[in-house]
């Protein structure tokens, strides 16, 4: 969801260096191609921890603030990694796919993006989506076939729906193929509907099923309504967020355990929480609640909305978080990486 942040001066971050990475932006609306630059500002610490040091239940692996003069770069709401070379795909709440390769230094710390393309999300006829409300994409998951990335699955709010798009050379392209979702979900017409989407890996008891979690749709017990889409494992379930928090994305670890990212708004800043849920607990009719791995607020974070899991260049399982700047100058597009303790 595009969340408004109070209008106050952003906190000043001490940055070790400034790295600029040239990229190409394609498929702008209207269609054109321009050479642009993404600036990667290293984030040398997180909650006092430097890369390689423990922070709560995780290891901080580094991060960057992403900046670009292009007016299509921002609003990053969903994230997935496709392929073995740290190639990522993001989706924005203005209806664009952002694809590129995440670069690392010799210490396996993220330093920037290269080969970036920005392409519009198309409708089922292969045309641009005319209404802004219908372009409001909030989550993205990678679909694999025979162990290879083949498509992306995107969840939208406002005009609530789920659609698949082909991956061509690791870039989402072509017209949308809508995925059937329950009627109660597709009838929602607000920006508090679908916010999280993830697909269970082969090690999961519900392998191949898609988990969708709503941000503001509550059941009779005050829990966030959710649903599993799958051939065998399908049906409603619920998610129990912390007080004052709402789920913004989800991702599965390789062993099948589920991660859920939560967000809240504090007095003058955002708050976030990351929880882990046992693989065996994720099933229809379940009341999901997790063990907290990390919580943060203040200048170390921003409007954290996107979550993905992939294997880093050093072989560690990386947990990557990205923030949605809502195209506001007082918010930032952050990319933060963590790993589990060995």
- The enclosing domain of 71 has a CATH number of 2.115.10
Q: Is 135 exposed, middle or buried (0-12, 13-18, 19+ CB in 10 A)?
A: buried
Q: What is the predicted pLDDT for the residue at 84? A: 82
CA–CA separation, 93 vs 195, rounded Å? 11
Q: What is the predicted pLDDT for the residue at 207? A: 97
Q: Is 1 among the domain residues?
A: no
Q: Is 4 among the domain residues?
A: no
DSSP state of 331: S
Q: What is the predicted pLDDT for the residue at 83? A: 82
CA–CA separation, 310 vs 180, rounded Å? 27
> Could you give the C-alpha distances from 268 to 6, 7, 152, 179, 302, in angstroms and in order?
7, 9, 35, 39, 11
Q: Is 200 among the domain residues?
A: yes
Q: Is 15 among the domain residues?
A: no
Tens place of pLDDT per residue across the chain (342 aa): 655 443 333 333 322 333 444 444 433 333 333 335 777 899 999 999 999 999 999 999 999 999 998 888 999 999 999 988 999 999 999 999 999 999 999 999 999 999 888 999 999 999 999 999 999 999 999 999 998 999 999 999 999 999 999 999 999 999 999 999 999 999 999 998 999 999 999 999 999 999 999 999 999 899 999 999 998 899 999 999 999 999 999 999 999 999 999 999 877 789 999 999 999 999 999 999 999 999 999 999 999 999 999 999 999 999 999 999 999 989 999 999 999 998
Q: What is the predicted pLDDT for the residue at 21? A: 46
Domain hosting residue 335, numbered range: 22-29+41-339
Phi-psi region of 162 (alpha: psi -120 to 50; beta: other; left: phi over 0): beta
CA–CA separation, 342 vs 327, rounded Å? 37
Q: What is the predicted pLDDT for the residue at 27? A: 38
CA–CA separation, 215 vs 217, rounded Å? 6
Q: Is 8 among the domain residues?
A: no
Q: Is 137 exposed, middle or buried (0-12, 13-18, 19+ CB in 10 A)?
A: buried
Predicted TM-score (pTM) of this structure:
0.90
Q: Is 316 among the domain residues?
A: yes
Q: Is 14 among the domain residues?
A: no
Q: What is the predicted pLDDT for the residue at 36? A: 56
| Angle of CA points 13, 19, 24, to nearest 5° | 120
Q: How many domains does the chain have?
A: 1
Q: What dihedral do alpha carbons 62, 103, 249, 265 form, nearest 10°?
A: 50
Q: Is 226 among the domain residues?
A: yes
Residues whose CB falls within 8 Å of the CB of residue 148, separated by 6 or more in sequence, listed in order: none
């Amino acid at each position: 969801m595009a969340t408004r942040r109070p209008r106050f001066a952003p906190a000043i971050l001490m940055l070790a260096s400034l790295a600029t990475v040239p990229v190409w932006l394609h498929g702008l609306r209207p269609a054109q191609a321009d050479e642009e630059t993404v600036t990667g500002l290293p984030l040398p610490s997180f909650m006092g921890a430097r890369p390689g040091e423990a922070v709560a239940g995780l290891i901080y692996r580094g991060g960057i603030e992403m900046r670009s003069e292009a007016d299509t770069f921002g609003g990053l709401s969903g994230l997935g990694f496709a392929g073995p070379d740290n190639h990522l795909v993001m989706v924005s709440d203005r209806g664009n796919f952002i694809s590129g390769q995440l670069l690392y230094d010799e210490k396996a710390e993220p330093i920037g993006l290269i080969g970036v393309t920005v392409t519009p999300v198309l409708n089922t006829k292969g045309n641009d989506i005319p209404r802004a409300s219908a372009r409001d994409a909030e989550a993205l998951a990678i679909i694999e076939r025979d162990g290879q990335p083949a498509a992306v699955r995107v969840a939208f709010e406002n005009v609530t729906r789920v659609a698949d798009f082909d991956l061509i050379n690791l870039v989402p392209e072509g017209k949308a193929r809508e995925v059937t979702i329950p009627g109660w979900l597709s009838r929602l017409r607000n920006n508090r509907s679908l916010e999280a989407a993830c697909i269970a890996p082969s090690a999961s008891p519900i392998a191949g099923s898609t988990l969708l979690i709503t941000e503001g749709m509550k059941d009779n017990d005050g829990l966030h309504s959710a649903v599993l889409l799958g051939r065998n494992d399908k049906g409603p379930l619920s998610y129990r967020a912390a007080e004052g928090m709402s789920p913004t994305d989800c991702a599965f670890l390789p062993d099948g355990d589920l991660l859920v990212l939560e967000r809240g708004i504090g007095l003058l800043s955002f708050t976030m929480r990351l929880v882990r849920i046992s693989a065996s607990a994720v099933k229809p009719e379940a009341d999901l609640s997790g063990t907290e791995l990390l919580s943060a607020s203040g200048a170390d974070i921003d409007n954290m909305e996107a979550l993905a899991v992939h294997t880093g260049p050093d072989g560690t399982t990386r947990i990557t978080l990205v923030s949605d700047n809502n195209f506001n100058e007082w918010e930032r597009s952050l990319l933060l990486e963590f790993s589990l303790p060995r």
